[in-house]
A = this chain, B = another copy of it.
Amino acid sequence: MPDTECGGPMTNFYIRHHALLTDAVSALKSREFWTPFPEIPSGRFYGESAREDGQAAFDRLIGHRFALPDHPETDRVGMEESPWGLPLKINYPTADASQLIEASEAVAGEWAEASPEVRVGVLLEALVRLNAMSFLMGHAVMHTTGQAFPMAFQAGGPHSQDRGLEAVAAAWVEMNATVREATWEKPQGKLASIILEKRWKLVPRGLALAIGCNTFPTWNGYPGIFASLATGNTVIVKPHPAAILPLALTVRVLREVLVEAELPADVVLLAADEPGQEMTQELVDSGAFSLIDYTGSSVFGAWLRKHAGKAQVYTEETGVNSITITGCRDFKGMCNNIAFSLSLYSGQMCTSPQNIYIPSTGIDSDEGPKSFDDVAKGIAFAVDRLLSDGERASGICGTIANPATLARVAVSRGIGRIVRDSGETGIGRSATPLLLALDGEEEGAEQEECFGPVSFFIPCESASDAIARASSIARQKGAITAALYATDQDLITEAEDAFAHAGVNLSVNLTGNIFVNQSAAFSDFHVTGANPSGNACLTDTAFVASRFRRVMIRWPKVA
C-alpha cells in the first residue's frame, strides 16, 4: 500500500481502519471464512443495551419525518407498509430527478479529487457505524422486506456490511493494482537513456445510480453503492418504494461520515419515491449516469440495458434455481436441509431453490431405495415438521413482501399435483411452501421463475437426465444457485462440468446447518455473470475495475 500523508482529519478514518482493510484484502484472496461483523444478534457482541437501543431507535422513526440534514428536498414521500402489519408512516425527503442529478454533479469533482485513502476511510467508518446499529437495521429490514427478525438482522446487518466491505476491499486492491507514479528509463545504447516521469490519476467513471430491491435492499444494494463510492463516483440511491428505510438509514450514516470528513454530504443522495410514481425511468432516461447497479426482474433489466446509453450496467436478475437429487447417504439430513432452504423467507431469496429434479425411477439412500414420491414426500414431511409450530414457522418463513407473490401461490396450485399445500404461519402476511409434482414429460411451469414459496418436483429419465435438465435451464433462463445430492463420484464430476458450463455455483450434499441459499462474502462469489441471472459478480474484479479509469501525465525527468 502506498505511503499516505496522515496528518489531516480527512485521512484519520483510513488510519483508524487500516487493519480492517488489510484483513479484508487478505480474505478476498484466500476465500477462507472471515468477517469482522458478528452475525449473532447478541449483546455479547453488540453491547448489553444494543437490543433495547435498536428497538427504541426504530420506535422513534415510526410515524415521523425521516431526517436527512441538508438533503435536497422539495417534497416528502413514503408509502412503506410492513408485511408484519405494523404501521410505519415514515416519510422521506425527495426532489425531482433533475435536482438530484444536479446536486450529485455539483459535488462530483470534490469526491473525485479526494484520495483513495480518504474515500476508503470514509466508507470503512460508515460500515463500522452501520454495524453498531445492526439491531435498528434488523427492524428496518424486517418491516420493509417482511423477513423474520433473526434473518433481517443477519442478512440486512452484518452480512450486508460484509458485502459492502468486500466491495471496498476489491476496489482498493484494484486502485492499487499498479503504481501511481513511476520513472521510466529506456536505454539508448551508447547514448544517454530517455527518462520519463509518469504519474497516474484515478478518474471516476461518472455519476452512479444504485437501484434497490424490495427483498434485500442492503445486501444487494451495498456492493454497488460502496464500489462506486470507493472508486470516486457520486451515487444516487434509488430504493424500492416498499423498502426505503434500510437504504435511507445507510445514506444518512454515509452523509454523516462525509460531513465529519469535511466532504460534501451530497456525494450520496436518496431518491425516495412511491409505488406507481417511481422515478427510476426518469433518472435513467436523463442519460446522466455512467454506472447503474440493479437488482430485480429481467423484464426491467432488459429495459434498463436498452435505455442505459453510455452507462455500464451491473445486474442481478431473474433465474431458476434447482436441486438435483440422484442419491444420498443421509436421507433425513437431506430432507431437513432442503426443507429449510425452501422455507427460509418463503422462497423469496434470489438463491432459493425452485425446481427439484429426481429420477422417476427413484434413488438409493441410506434408508434403502426411495421412489420419486418417497423423496417428494420426505421433503414435504420435513417441511411440515420444521413449520409445525406457528411461531417457529414465522421465524423461518417471515412474511410475504409483495401481495403479488401471494396471488402467484394461489394460481400455482393448479399447475401440478399438490404434494404439500401452502399454508399460513398465523403471523403477518405469510405463505409456507407449496410443493407440486409435475409430470415432467413436457416443459412446463418449471421453465420460468415462479418467485416465492413454490417448488416443483420434476421426474427425470435418469440421474444424468436430471443433471442435464437442471443445468440446461440454468444456462437458458439463468440461475444463481444449484444443489446436487449424489453418492457417485462420476455423477458429481458430470454435474460439476454441466453446472460450470451453465455458469452456476453448485453445492453438493449439504446437510446440517449450511444451506444452498447461503452466500458468504469474502468466499462465495454471488452470481457468476456467466448466465442470464445477472452480469454482476459480488465481488470479483470485473465488478470494480470498470468503475474508474487511469489517466497519465508524463514528462522528461530533469537531470
A532-548 vs B, CB cutoff 8 Å, 1 = contact: the mask equals 00000100111001100
B554 touches A506 (CB 8 A): yes
A32 touches B182 (CB 8 A): yes
Best-buried of A205, A513, A555 by chain B (most CB within 10 Å) = A555
Best-buried of A200, A513, A550 by chain B (most CB within 10 Å) = A550
- Tell me if A184 is interfacial: C-beta within 8 Å of chain B: yes
Cα distance A542–B28 when bound, in Å?
A: 18
Q: Provided the pairs A528-B551, A553-B505 are in contact, do residues A512 and B182 lie with their beta carbons within 8 angstroms?
A: no
Q: Provided the pairs A205-B530, A503-B203, A551-B528 are in contact, do residues A556 and B514 lie with their beta carbons within 8 angstroms?
A: yes
Q: How far is the CB of A322 from chain B (nearest CB, A)?
A: 15
- Tell me if A510 is interfacial: C-beta within 8 Å of chain B: yes
B194 touches A512 (CB 8 A): yes
- Tell me if A183 is interfacial: C-beta within 8 Å of chain B: yes
A162-179 vs B, CB cutoff 8 Å, 1 = contact: the mask equals 000000000001100111
Q: How many residues of A contact B (CB 8 A)?
A: 62
A497-518 vs B, CB cutoff 8 Å, 1 = contact: the mask equals 0011101111111111110000
Q: Is the interface of A mostly helix, strand, loop or mixed?
A: mixed
Cα distance A520–B195 when bound, in Å?
A: 13
Partner among B525, B540, B551 whose Cβ is within 8 Å of the Cβ of A499? B551
Cα distance A31–B186 when bound, in Å?
A: 12
Cα distance A514–B198 when bound, in Å?
A: 14
A556 touches B505 (CB 8 A): no
A185 touches B506 (CB 8 A): no
Partner among B182, B183, B505, B552 whose Cβ is within 8 Å of the Cβ of A506? B552
B182 touches A523 (CB 8 A): yes
Cα distance A542–B504 when bound, in Å?
A: 22
A199 (CB) vs chain B CBs: closest residue: B496
- Tell me if A201 is interfacial: C-beta within 8 Å of chain B: yes
- Tell me if A286 is interfacial: C-beta within 8 Å of chain B: no
Closest 9 CB pairs between A and B?
Answer: A508-B555, A530-B549, A31-B182, A542-B545, A541-B545, A505-B552, A500-B551, A542-B546, A201-B500
> What is the interface of chain A, defined by CB distance below 8 A to chain B?
28-33, 173-174, 177-179, 182-188, 194, 196, 198, 200-201, 203, 205, 496, 499-501, 503-514, 520, 523-525, 528-530, 537, 540-542, 545-546, 549-556
| Contacts A203-B503, A499-B551, A506-B554 known; 17 new A-B pairs at CB < 8 A | A30-B179, A30-B182, A31-B178, A31-B198, A32-B183, A174-B541, A182-B523, A196-B514, A200-B525, A503-B549, A509-B555, A509-B556, A510-B555, A514-B556, A528-B551, A529-B549, A540-B550
